[in-house]
Amino acid sequence: MIRLALAAGLLLGLAVHASAQTTLRVGDQKGNSQAVMEAAGVLKDIPYKIEWKEFPAAAPLLEALGAGAIETGLVGDAPFTFAAAANVPVKAIAAVRQSRDGLAVLVPEHSPIICAAGRSPPAVARSAIN
């Protein structure tokens, strides 16, 4: 919920002085932000148009931001840090601290993995499943 509020604030804050003809180009990772914001109704009656640009991950979204192809987008802390270190002209305008309560590890239905405690070596995390 906090993430949704920050995302809505991000978009609304960027277009405070926008007119009905103004278009805000927003980068989105696999349609996630757009779906959440539309479901929550936070985009109703905004005084500008949003042109969503979908990206498979944060790195290409940040490249598009640096190239001027989009004006804003939501990414995690690691991709943002790497982009800033590579001198991509990015600026963080909001941050969210998350706890482990909002994270999950998914395994197939009949997987022998039922608990991650005591696993050695640690599992390797992936951001996408192919």
Q: Count the Cβ atoms, other than its own, within 10 Å of residue 43.
A: 14
Helix (H, G, I), strand (E, B) or coil at 82: helix
User: Rounded to two decimals, what is the model's pTM?
Assistant: 0.62
Looking at domain 2-101, which CATH architecture does it have? 3-Layer(aba) Sandwich (3.40)
User: What are the backbone dihedrals phi and psi of residue 82, each rounded to the nearest 5 degrees, phi first?
Assistant: -65, -40
> CB burial class (10 A; 0-12, 13-18, 19+) of residue 4?
middle
What pLDDT was estimated at residue 123?
Answer: 54
> Where in the chain are the domains?
2-101
Mind listing the pLDDT tens digit of every residue in the chain (130 residues)? 555 555 555 555 555 444 557 999 999 999 889 999 999 999 998 999 999 999 999 999 999 999 999 999 999 888 999 999 999 888 888 887 777 776 677 788 888 877 777 665 555 555 444 3
